[in-house]
Amino acid sequence: MSTKTAPGEGAAAAACAVCGAAEPDPRRIALCYGCRRPFHLNPDSGPGRDCGDVWAGSSAEEGFTGLELHCAPCFEQRRREAASALPFPPPAAAAPPDRPAGGGAP
């Protein structure tokens, strides 16, 4: 929801969709694979902002064999989707609620 549109401003400087700061260096801005918005990407892990991450696409079902760039919110969402797509739930959620509490050794 950005209503700030400067007339005459093209693709000179992109503003990060995560932290909202403008980044004059296009090499440090990447487009999110999920929301298609620009965000800070620090390719060499040097000094500078890093508002996203690289998702290594290893799912053959999606027919994707490369890397997906995701901003931080989308990366988290992607990670959760991948976690929920696992054949078994994580141990924390796998514990049955009807397990007797305080039970000793049988």
**Given the complex with Zn ion, which of 7 and 20 has the nearer CB atom?**
20
* Two structure tokens written together for 65: 């064999």
Q: In whole angstroms, how close is the CB of 41 to Zn ion at the nearest point?
A: 9
Positions that interact with Zn ion (CB under 5 A): 16, 18-19, 32, 34-35, 40, 49, 51, 71, 74
Q: In whole angstroms, how close is the CB of 59 to Zn ion at the nearest point?
A: 18
Q: In whole angstroms, how close is the CB of 67 to Zn ion at the nearest point?
A: 15
Angle subtended at Cα 40 by Cα 36 and Cα 43, rounded to the nearest 5 degrees: 105
**Given the complex with Zn ion, which of 27 and 99 has the nearer CB atom?**
27
**Given the complex with Zn ion, which of 19 and 54 has the nearer CB atom?**
19
- The three state secondary structure string of 1-21 is CCCCCCCCCCCCCEECCCCCC
Continuous H helices in the chain = 72-84, 91-94
